Structure 1
Amino acid sequence: MRVASVRDGVVPIASAIANAYIDFSRMTASVVAVTVEDGQGRSATGYGFNSNGRYAQPGLLRERFIPRLLEAQGDALVHADGGLEPAGAWACMMRNEKPGGHGERSVAVGVLDMALWDAAAKLAGKPLWRLLADRYRGGEADETAWIYAAGGYYYPGKGLDELVTEMRRYLDMGYSVVKMKIGGAPGTPIKDALKLDIARIEAVLTLLGGDGSRLCVDVNGRFGLHAALAYGAALAPYKLRWYEEPLDPLDYATHATLAEHYAAPIATGENLFSLQDARNLIRHGGLRPDRDILQFDPALSYGLVEYLRTLNMLQEHGWSPRRCVPHGGHQFALNIAVGLGLGGNESYPEVFAPFGGFADSTPVEDSRIRMPDLPGIGFEAKSSLWAVLKGL
């Protein structure tokens, strides 16, 4: 077993939208193609990319991680079932890396890890979700995955009517749960921003028949404690599905304080990129395993090899995998959710093209989706994404 070749590129993931913290008008993504030969005359090419919110990593990929990956070969790459073992390749990529410093390198490694898992499933002739279920869950895979439509971003000229029209489109696509951004009025006093966001929330809730369990709100880490508490008090009567990333992702003590005062579900974790960061959140963030949601994105956090370790850590601390709903809205996390029994997955029906969204032939019904039976992750069945990846 050996890694025969690795090719990479940089492509735009630009969208004329913004959340409470950043705009995405100049966002880029790394894409890679990794070809693996199994020594028995078979080869497979897997594809990977980084999901939204982080930029392309060409320097890290070309200077450190691709050269190390090309050195990976032999028994370290062979799983007990005879197939490709991405953990062996991961160990080669991380050779000579010091502990800590998990920021951008976790993205570069995650891009390559995704491609390795795609190749592993293709060599096995299975969808990735089936390979994961067979290796780690005794063959048990979920029949469908719960997904929600993430949108409600800010852009110039977007008012209440446009927001409601957008959310109605998601309902027409088959989603029953949606998410919108809040906290994105820069320079506005907290009381005025809150008034504006309450009007936006109530407009969407009217569309949803007043059912707060069908609406999530996302702050993208913009608030300090005062604003987070003020918003939390205002949101509580609506009984929303969750209040997402209200605080800086690494401010664990402040999360713990918020959790003492906000009884409804809190969701966070999409900007934590390692097992160690995730463990610190669980130890010190005051989150509650009976209601809160963990959104670690495997594509940004060293890949599935690290995510498997994170899931083991969570179970040791009393957390079910069902509390995990990955950020990113991509097919990689969707396969993981089905194969490993997570609580669901994010979906981007209209933004972050072509990386957001799933295979073309997978309709959404009541915010659930059934996986296609295709070898690998299934990128080839998403025409707009495949048009980008096949160029590698």
Structure 2
Amino acid sequence: MPRIVAIHEGVVPISSSMSNAFIDFSAMDCSIVAVESDVIRDGKPVVGYGFNSNGRYSAGEILRRRVIPRLMHAATEELLTTDGAFIDPAKAWILMTRNEKPGGHGERSVAVGVVDMALFDLNAKLAGLPLYRWLVQHYGLGEPDSEVFVYAAGGYYAPGKDLPQLQDEMRGFLAQGYDVVKMKIGGAPLADDIKRVEAVLEVLGGDGARLAVDANGRFDLATALEYGRALEPYGLFWYEEPGDPLDYALHATLSEQYSGPLATGENLFSLPDARNLIRYGGMRPDRDYLQFDPVLGYGLVEYFRIQEMLRAHGWSSRRCIPHGGHQFSLHIAAALRLGGNESYPGEFQPTGGFADDAVIEHSRLRLTESPGIGFEDKAELYRVFRDLH
């Protein structure tokens, strides 16, 4: 019968000089937590770790004042699974969100997601299983995927970064084993962005199906349509987040005029927002992709609910490729048989990316058997976690 004895919280910088069409990352950071149990293995307590995905800042104030105290003040029996073997993430979720009004989810969804990750890491470690195997056993999900499709996200804007440097970056991704890459658009005039797209396509042998582009919500409707007309002939892997994530009418109109795949959802942080995208955003289940982030959006507990909603609306889990680019979403992709997972080779360190010895072949990554999420296989991140407690 495990008991939570402490939850340690901190902040780690993941800043860089690069930018997308909307923000720069000069001050980007993220929250990290360590959930310590009273279970002792090899003379040390079993600890679960968590952090928030890039693109949202640390949520320490919410963690310290609301989320963590609610868990720590709970009686042990309020948190346990029926068999008493694990901390029940769904029960913990109810406690963490107690006395929170619906709507306006803001950064509280991030704070809950950070602790949610740590609880799943803890449970899998208690079972001595990699998380994806614990998930399929605990929730009866069936056979997991043994390997996951991953694409390399990059192509950011940076001071002095020219077309040859952009091409060299993409060649580096290919050398690491990625077949599909993603680049940013919307931070330069359309004519310049098209030159950037064509420069990357040159590296990819002209195969547009290996290139995704991401506008990070920059465009109004007219600009989104203008870019769509310019991009459509290239047959891209996807055209991502053209407008504000809550502007469902923009997405619906664009989907009527742009025949290629669209992708969005990484900045929708709740089941109601995800449901509104499906109801009103014109997303097409035969070609489009959904990028809801299980960490930023109230954690895996909420992501399970989103998947249930998607099934009810005729969507396959294979059309889901989460934002985040880290080990937690990799395990989720394998367990829930999603369409793949994002990857940031070398960016957003120490949290971004996979195990230090991960090998990507033809944009496929095989999962390891390390217990939990496997943070212990990512040396710099594990050092940061260990410094917490």
> In which range does the TM-score fall when normalised by the shorter chain?
over 0.9
Q: Say which SS state the counterpart of residue 276 (structure 2) adopts.
A: helix
Checking the alignment, whether the CA contact within 8 Å between 1:136 and 1:340 is kept in structure 2 is no
| Aligned match of 1:52 | 54
Structure 1 residue 36: Cα displacement = 2.7
Checking the alignment, whether the CA contact within 8 Å between 2:141 and 2:336 is kept in structure 1 is no
Q: Say which SS state the counterpart of residue 231 (structure 1) adopts.
A: helix
| Aligned match of 2:16 | 15
| Aligned match of 1:181 | 184
Distance of 2:346 and 2:184 partners within structure 1: 15
| Aligned match of 1:30 | 31
AA aligned opposite 1:12:
P
Q: Using the TM superposition, name which of 129-138 and 335-344 deviates more.
A: 129-138
Q: Deviations over 1:29-82 (max 9, x none)?
A: 111000134699995210011111110111111110110011234344333563
Structure 1 residue 340: Cα displacement = 1.0
| Aligned match of 1:119 | 122
Q: Say which SS state the counterpart of residue 36 (structure 1) adopts.
A: strand
Cα RMSD after superposing both structures: 1.6
Checking the alignment, whether the CA contact within 8 Å between 2:209 and 2:235 is kept in structure 1 is yes
| Aligned match of 2:205 | 209
| Aligned match of 1:189 | none
| Equivalent residues in 2 for 1:299-378, closer than 5 Å | 299-378=295-374
AA aligned opposite 2:89:
P
Structure 1 residue 361: Cα displacement = 2.0
Distance of 1:36 and 1:321 partners within structure 2: 33
TM-score, normalised to structure 1, is 0.95
Structure 1 residue 138: Cα displacement = 3.8
Unaligned residue ranges in structure 1 (runs of 5+): 186-192
Distance of 1:3 and 1:302 partners within structure 2: 20
| Aligned match of 1:83 | 86
Distance of 2:201 and 2:361 partners within structure 1: 20
Unaligned residue ranges in structure 2 (runs of 5+): none
2:220 to 221, 224, 230: 224
Q: Deviations over 1:231-260 (max 9, x none)?
A: 101111100000000010000011100000
Checking the alignment, whether the CA contact within 8 Å between 1:71 and 1:92 is kept in structure 2 is no
AA aligned opposite 2:143:
E
Checking the alignment, whether the CA contact within 8 Å between 2:350 and 2:381 is kept in structure 1 is yes
Q: Using the TM superposition, name which of 33-42 and 14-23 deviates more.
A: 33-42
AA aligned opposite 1:2:
R
TM-score, normalised to structure 2, is 0.96
| Aligned match of 1:244 | 240
Q: Say which SS state the counterpart of residue 369 (structure 1) adopts.
A: strand
2:68 to 66, 69, 82: 66
Q: Say which SS state the counterpart of residue 56 (structure 1) adopts.
A: coil
| Aligned match of 1:94 | 97
| Aligned match of 1:253 | 249
AA aligned opposite 1:124:
A
1:157 aligns with 2:160: yes
Structure 1 residue 137: Cα displacement = 4.4
Distance of 1:334 and 1:267 partners within structure 2: 18
Structure 1 residue 2: Cα displacement = 2.8
Checking the alignment, whether the CA contact within 8 Å between 1:359 and 1:379 is kept in structure 2 is yes
Distance of 2:351 and 2:135 partners within structure 1: 22
Q: Deviations over 1:130-169 (max 9, x none)?
A: 1111133444110100000000000010010000000000
AA aligned opposite 1:59:
E
Checking the alignment, whether the CA contact within 8 Å between 2:151 and 2:341 is kept in structure 1 is yes
Q: Say which SS state the counterpart of residue 209 (structure 1) adopts.
A: coil
Q: Say which SS state the counterpart of residue 314 (structure 1) adopts.
A: helix
1:109 to 108, 112, 128: 112
Distance of 2:369 and 2:67 partners within structure 1: 31
| Aligned match of 2:5 | 4
Q: Deviations over 1:62-113 (max 9, x none)?
A: 1101100112343443335633311111111111111112111000111111
Give every structure 1 segment of 4 or more consecutive aligned residues whose post-TM-superposition deviation is greater than 6 Å.
Answer: 38-42
Distance of 1:382 and 1:38 partners within structure 2: 23
Paired residue total: 385
Structure 1 residue 284: Cα displacement = 0.4
Percent of aligned positions that are identical: 62
Checking the alignment, whether the CA contact within 8 Å between 2:329 and 2:341 is kept in structure 1 is yes
Distance of 1:325 and 1:349 partners within structure 2: 17
Q: Say which SS state the counterpart of residue 315 (structure 1) adopts.
A: helix
